[in-house]
Structures are given as structure tokens and as C-alpha cells.
Amino acid sequence: MNNLLLLAINLTRRCNLACQHCYLDAKTLQQGSPNELSTEEVCGLLDDIAQRSTETMVVLTGGEPLVRRDLEILIAHGAKLGLSMVIGTNGVLLTEQRVKSLKKSAVLGVGISLDSLNPTFHDTFRAVPGAWAKTMAGIENCRRHALSFQIHFSVTDNNADELPAMIDFARGCGARVFNVFFLVCTGRGQFMSDISAARYEEVLKYLIEAQKNNQDIIIRSRCAPHFKRIAYQQHPNSPLNRISGNEGDGCIAGTHYCRITPEGGVTACPYIPDELGNIRENSFWDIWEDAPVFKALRAPTLKGKCGVCEYQKLCGGCRARPLAAGADLMDADLLCTYQPQGEPVIQPLQNLSIQWSLEAEQRMERIPAFLRQMVKKRAEAYVAELGQDIVTPEHLAVLSARRFGAPKRL
């Protein structure tokens, strides 16, 4: 069973910015798609999702989702169904009044894009003067009104040096999570430089060390499954590093994640643009279960050096990058510097003989549904690493303090 843990819904192509790296190639406020999903259609999709599972976290994004006047209606509808509803935004429109409105609608949190502490760099990257100041004001409004938020940082060769300062800023302003996105050159982003393979490796190594040194905030790489290989190379005896990337800290496209376009198309991820069906024509769950590309991603037959790599089951590479370069979905990830050594394939951690105390099970029930599967596997791996055989509330408290799937808001 491939549980859908994360569903991204691109509500609109409209946007108040014109970012260089936009995978959707979003247009201006006036040039949104005339065929966007209606309020009723999005609510119907949420109904379908919740009827099968409330373990799904739904990310409402765009374009810029805050230009949708029905955003609070959609959030409230999903929240009443038991879904975890969050927003991905550039933060420009997060006025004090809008933050209060979003909180009232029962949004779980927001992810805010910030690409530099240098206003000129950020505004150039986002192609609108003054965007940085408004985004910073939006972050402050979330902080003041206790709306949980993450910082989303798109790393390139031009801003990678800012990572230490960005992490300090994210911690200082009260962000729950600092997500570092590694761009895939699609949409408008196909015309911009990304990041070199060597710098990619360097940044991932830095992020692993940064997480160890900053236990009060989650620091995560996104669209960078090589993280799993590097973590394993550093600590091969750690059960935590043998958890498959498909379980939450690698690529989950098609296994536990997909996205919906503004017109109802279903794709494996925003960077794999081929539509596998449309919710206006077929049931979402039929597409999720039966689309050939989803099946291929769940049992991949990798090619090139990915196909002979001993880390293929922990990492698997980004499937969107070869596709964006004009190759096959299963070809080698061009941003990986590692050369396979001809060793046996490292097998992901399977079910461990770990028991749970009643108190630990009760504490797990308080964790948001979409996090439980990942938290459970990490907790069991942590206990196994200690040479013990039962998960207790004390173990969960340690993991919470380390921010490994901490049972808090987004």
C-alpha cells in the first residue's frame, strides 16, 4: 500500500512575483489560467482524499495561493475533514490581517520562501523590487501571531555561501523548519543556472553537520536524495541512515507524494510535468493506484550509474533531473558526483523487532497523522541503535528534542 502522505495542490498560475526558477512558469495576477479548479472541485478532491485517509498533509500552493479569495474556505474544509492543511507562499501577501484570517481557518502552518538576507539578491531572484521587505514583514506577522512557519531557501551557486547566516536567521525568527531546495531546471527555471555537482555535494555535507549542531530546528534538504548516501557514508553503522529515502527524507515522488495542477492534472511531482490523469475525468485514487509512471517510481529499474550503485535503494537519485535534461525518467541523476564501487546493494532497514510501551503508543496518537509513519520508523531505528528493544516516552522525548519528526506544528 502506497500511503499518500503529502499532496501538493497548485491552486493557481497567478502570482505577484516572477521568480527566475519557477517550475510552473507562473504568470501575472491578470494572466491566470481560465480553467483553474473551482472551490467546489478542490473541496471535492479533499473529500476524496479524506474518505480514504486523514494521514495526508495537503500543501496549497501556486503560483501564489494567497491570491485565491477562497483560500480560507479550502483550508477550513480540509481541516474539518481531519486533513493537515498548510500553505506554500512567497510571503509577500502575509499581512497582519491575512495571518489572522489564516489562523482562524485552522491552517496548520505556512512555508515561506526566502532566498537571501540580501534584499537586492532576493528581489532580483524574485524579479520584483521590494519583495524582500514584504516577505520579511510576513515572517514577522506569523511570528507575532504564533502562526507556525517554515523558511524555504532555494540554493544555487550564487547564494550557497549564505547558508550559515540563513540557518541562524531561521532559528532566530522562530521558524520550525529550514528547508533547502535544490532546483530542478524546469518551467521558467530551465533557463537559469542551478548549482554545480561539486557544490551540491558540499552543501549536503554541510547540512548534515548543521542539523547535528542545531537541535532546536529541523534542517532538511529537498529534491536531494543523495543526502541518504552521504549520511550513510559518514555513519554506516547507524540504523537511522539505513532508512530508505522513500520514507520521508529522500524523494517520495509517486510513492508517498504527488501534485495536482491548477487545471486538475495529476503528476508525480512538480518537476515531472507529464500528467498521468485528470481529477475532472477520473478518480484521484484510480490515478494514484494505476498510473504506469507511479508504478515505475514505486519499483524503479534504474539505468546508468544509478542502476549499478550500491546506494540505489537508499537514495535512488532524483528522477526529474534526467528527464529535464532530455533523458529517460530512470537514467542517472546528473548532479551526483559519486562513482559506484561495485559493492552489493545496501538494503534499507526493514521492520525491526522493536516493541512499544503503552505510554509511547499513547504519545504517538498525539502526533499529527501524516508524521506517524516516519516518526515510528525513526523511533525504532533510534532504539535499535541504542541496543534496546522497546520504545518508551523517554526515547520519543529525545527524538522530539532533536527535532526528528517532532510532534509539533509544521
> 308 is written with which cell numbers?
549499478
Residues 224 and 139 in one domain: yes
Residues 386 and 238 in one domain: no
Residues 293 and 367 in one domain: no
Q: Strands 266-267, 257-260: parallel, antiparallel or unpaired by DSSP?
A: antiparallel
In a domain, 409, yes or no: no
In a domain, 181, yes or no: yes
Residues 373 and 285 in one domain: no
Residues 250 and 377 in one domain: no
- The residue among 306 and 17 whose pLDDT is bigger is 306
- SS3 state of residue 205: helix
In a domain, 318, yes or no: no
pLDDT at 190: 44
How do residues 384-398 score in pLDDT, each as one tens digit? 888 899 999 999 888
Distance CA 370, CA 373 (A): 7
In a domain, 325, yes or no: no
Amino acid (one-letter) located at 387: G
pLDDT at 191: 38
- SS3 state of residue 176: coil
- Single residue among 299, 326, 343 that ends a domain in this structure: 299
Q: Strands 218-222, 177-182: parallel, antiparallel or unpaired by DSSP?
A: parallel
How do residues 106-128 score in pLDDT, each as one tens digit? 999 999 999 999 999 988 888 88
Distance CA 69, CA 131 (A): 21
Q: Strands 149-155, 177-182: parallel, antiparallel or unpaired by DSSP?
A: parallel
How do residues 259-284 score in pLDDT, each as one tens digit? 999 999 999 999 998 999 999 999 99
Residue 131 · residue 90 · CB < 8 Å: yes
Span of 38-52, 256-270, 378-392 with lowest mean pLDDT: 378-392
Residues 248 and 361 in one domain: no
Residues 171 and 248 in one domain: yes
- Strands (E) across 76-130 are located at 84-89, 109-113
Residue 396 · residue 360 · CB < 8 Å: yes
**Average of per-residue pLDDT across 174-190:** 76
- Single residue among 257, 280, 299 that ends a domain in this structure: 299
Residues 30 and 134 in one domain: yes
In a domain, 308, yes or no: no
Residue 249 · residue 227 · CB < 8 Å: yes
- Single residue among 299, 316, 337 that ends a domain in this structure: 299
In a domain, 113, yes or no: yes
How would residue 30 be classed by pLDDT, with cut points 50, 70 and 90? low
CATH code at 247? 3.20.20.70
- SS3 state of residue 197: helix
pLDDT at 48: 97
Mean pLDDT of the chain: 88
Residues 224 and 295 in one domain: yes
Kind and range of the H or E run holding 204: helix 197-213
- SS3 state of residue 139: helix
Residues 156 and 291 in one domain: yes
* Total-model pTM: 0.89
% residues pLDDT > 70 (the chain): 90
Of 200, 154, 204, 203, the C-alpha closest to 179 is: 154
CB atoms within 10 A of CB 202: 14
**Average of per-residue pLDDT across 335-354:** 90
pLDDT at 306: 96
Which range marks the domain in which residue 397 is found?
A: 355-404
The yes-or-no verdict on residue 1 having pLDDT over 80 is: no
Residues 381 and 236 in one domain: no
> 349 is written with which cell numbers?
532497514
Handedness of CA 207, 315, 251, 23 (dihedral sign): positive
Residues 266 and 362 in one domain: no
Residue 67 · residue 33 · CB < 8 Å: no
In a domain, 174, yes or no: yes
In a domain, 333, yes or no: no
Total domains present in the chain: 2
pLDDT at 169: 97
**Average of per-residue pLDDT across 58-81:** 96
CATH code at 369? 1.10.8
Cell 502552518 maps to which residue? 109
Query: What length is written for the chain?
Result: 410
**Average of per-residue pLDDT across 209-237:** 90
The C-alpha angle 223, 156, 18, rounded to 5 degrees, equals 90
